[in-house]
Structure 1
Amino acid sequence: MNLAAVEDFPLRAGLTQFNHASYGLSSLRVIAEGERLRRQIESDPNLHLGAELTQRLTAQSASVAEVLGLDSARMTLCANATSAAAAIIASVPLGASSTVVVLDVEYSSIRRAWEVACAKAGARLITVSVPIPLESTTALLARLDRQVPGPVDYLQVSAITSSTAIQMPIPALSVWVEQRGGHLILDAAHVPGHLPLPPGLWGAAAVFGTLHKWFPTLRPVGLLWRTPEFDIRPAEVSLTWDSPDLVERFSWPGTFDPVPRLCMDAAIGQWREWQADGRLDDCEALADMADRAMVDFGARRTAATEFRPPRLRSFILDGVTPLQVKDALHGAEIRAWVGQGASGECLLRLSTHIYNDENDLDRVTHRIQEVLSR
């Protein structure tokens, strides 16, 4: 554990954390800011949860848009990635003649949301299996061509897949769905604070994501971005549902805790310090070291080099079950995501953050080596 960096976080002593990508981790600085904001709100809830709140949320949304390089008029903060996805899926027009394509490496709740929406509308849902390990964009596009006949209305893709940690070839997939006459819906849950969101958002029509994974803010905070042609509204009909302003629409989903969203300025400021100090670059170097060490010990990568995210890597562990790996790591006070892939394979995902160091890496890789050698 990087003792200098761990002072920024409330992590328990002796715990090795490689599961940052699941829930993120609030920094002590942001936690203190959150406590200050909560005391302020409770000093006069009628004032601070009234019209003033929308103004403050608009300012925070603009700060996030600025750091991500987005048009603030097209973006809003929201509860989390799931609520943003629900808003998008509930808002896009679907009918009996519609076709939606979802990859089998997508997050399970997102796949389920499209299943429910398509069943309700009588639309066709096609789930396409992604070859794991993913070796080439050509192979993925060929599989899409084989499994998806005819026009497509929507293609649901993650910029970085969750359990398999694959940085998908979004520009090529955007071209593919455009050629089929459809729109790209992008899951960017693992992107903000981790990867840049390029201008035009890779040709996406709508994007949902999470800010509490890689920015050190309180959880939960999500984001939603859309092109002007998509009139996205919250899945819940609240007092601001009819607002012409996107931020205001999502500013009052009923009574809720606005503090995580109001902490974004503080979180962005600290994240920028880490970036300027080279700490995030160090995390990428540690992820590359983990990648090499895991393969040396018998794990298999989920994707070729071009598809590996900077600070998130996933591996196939042959001959073991997720339960065996979870038990081995838990007993050693190591936290990492372990689960089952779409084809039943055992997956281990490691995310590196500024509180990690080479000693942490030695602990997790040697533990995995023990499990694989049994």
Structure 2
Amino acid sequence: MNADDFRLDPSVAHLNHGSFGVVPAVVRRRQDEFRAEADRDPDGYHATLGERVAEAREEVAAFLGADPGGLAFVDNVTEGVAVALESVPLAPGDRILVCDHAYGAVDIAARRRARRAGAAVDTVTLPGRSDGEWSAQDAAAALLAAVTPRTKVAVFDHITSTTARLLPVRHLVAELRALGVVTVVDAAHAPGMLEVDLGGIGADFWTGNLHKWAFAPRPCGVLAVAPAWRERVEPLIASFYLGEGFPHSVEFQGTRDHTTWLAAPYGLRFLKELGAAETRERNAALALRGQRIVAEATGLPAWRGDAELSMRVLRLPRGVAVTQDAAGALADQIFRTCGCRTAVRPWPDAGLLRVSAQVYTRESDFERLAAGLRDIFS
């Protein structure tokens, strides 16, 4: 497996799979066939679109251990979280709970929903914010301790985006349910990177991207909704399918490009052909080795990670990349210096460098990054 299988630029070391994913060439060809079909006969294509989306949904549901009737395609997790929040009734004085590791767009969505309802957002600071040394149990305890009698919704990650840590979602969902709190899980990185069993998680709302680690074309995500909430789901855009209810009301909006959803099962099949378990194990091990290579060569602190994850984080020097603009500028400088694509994220006192490993990644890519960072910080 190499860059040619993904149509990647072979001159670049692609160490940022976590941000956008990469589409295998075979999956892209299948999507192109769907698009060509829609262009040849738009009426014929749309006449059977509902049935074909349902078939794709069933295959994705089986992959995630979900009920097909409780799963809808969405463009991405940002849309999924917004739909979930709009579907939960809030009153003035109610509280939405988020954590300080939340993805920026998710935090914005929570604050917008709270503002419209006259509610408020409570942000939980997870332990170990300055050094990355925290356990899943400590994180769960901090989130649960922040629940108040007015907490109506808790939004938390399956895998944190900026800090690449795994939260104990099953435990959190069960404990929050006992407290009467609606759960919305941001699982942007979970499908494909982890073996997911949505039936066992049991969240009220769980939303993940298929275009990151499950090899679907962009944009492609799913929103899983518990039975008690399905009749109350409110799509962000009304369409003729509104009266049909979930999932159709969320999925069908006129001439939306549905080809990413139709092609999504081919991404799952690609992963299965590679060997899903073996691929996850290989990627997680390579991400850890890569983190160590960079840390040993540069002296950058390697933040603690989780054995199952294919992303790892290093702490940058104090004062570096503490704003979004500065983080973007450093990512550009890294690319100009050594031709490596990485994720640089702002963080208090010192920014974070996140690296990813996928089947096209090689140990030499991390060595190349380490050499470039030595030049930059020398």
TM-score of the pair, normalised by structure 2: 0.90
Q: Does 1:119 align with 2:115?
A: yes
**2:267 aligned partner:** 267
Give 1:148 deviation, angstroms: 4.5
Q: Determine which of 127, 130, 136 is the counterpart of 2:126.
A: 130
Q: Determine which of 339, 355, 372 is the counterpart of 1:367.
A: 372
Structure 1, residues 266-325: CA drift from partner, whole Å, max 9, x if none? Answer: 21111111126934432222112013223323222444x4x4542111221123333345
Give 1:254 deviation, angstroms: 2.5
Specify whether residues 236 and 201 from structure 1 end up closer, same or farther in structure 2 by C-alpha distance, changes over 3 A only: farther
Specify whether residues 293 and 85 from structure 1 end up closer, same or farther in structure 2 by C-alpha distance, changes over 3 A only: same
Residue 18 of structure 1 aligns with an amino acid whose one-letter code is L
Say which SS state the counterpart of residue 76 (structure 1) adopts.
strand
Deviates more, 1:230-239 or 1:319-328: 319-328
Give 1:368 deviation, angstroms: 2.6
Specify whether residues 68 and 89 from structure 1 end up closer, same or farther in structure 2 by C-alpha distance, changes over 3 A only: same
Distance 2:197 2:339 in 1: 38
Distance 2:169 2:120 in 1: 23
Residue 195 of structure 1 aligns with an amino acid whose one-letter code is L
**1:278 aligned partner:** 278
Distance 1:277 1:68 in 2: 14
Give 1:147 deviation, angstroms: 4.6
Q: CA RMSD in A?
A: 2.1
TM-score of the pair, normalised by structure 1: 0.91
**Higher relative contact order (CA closer than 8 Å, sequence separation 6+):** 1
For the 8 Å contact 2:3–2:9, the answer to whether it is kept is: no
Count the aligned residue pairs.
365
**1:200 aligned partner:** 199
Say which SS state the counterpart of residue 300 (structure 1) adopts.
coil
**2:54 aligned partner:** 58
For the 8 Å contact 2:164–2:309, the answer to whether it is kept is: no
Residue 63 of structure 2 aligns with an amino acid whose one-letter code is V
Distance 1:348 1:210 in 2: 22
**2:10 aligned partner:** 13
Q: Determine which of 348, 353, 358 is the counterpart of 2:358.
A: 353
Structure 1, unmatched stretches of 5+, are none
Q: Does 1:289 align with 2:295?
A: no
Say which SS state the counterpart of residue 151 (structure 2) adopts.
coil
Residue 36 of structure 1 aligns with an amino acid whose one-letter code is E
For the 8 Å contact 1:283–1:353, the answer to whether it is kept is: yes
For the 8 Å contact 1:280–1:354, the answer to whether it is kept is: no
Specify whether residues 148 and 330 from structure 1 end up closer, same or farther in structure 2 by C-alpha distance, changes over 3 A only: farther
Q: Equivalent residues in 2 for 1:73-112 (5 A)? A: 73-112=69-108
Specify whether residues 125 and 276 from structure 1 end up closer, same or farther in structure 2 by C-alpha distance, changes over 3 A only: closer
Give 1:221 deviation, angstroms: 0.7
Give 1:115 deviation, angstroms: 0.5
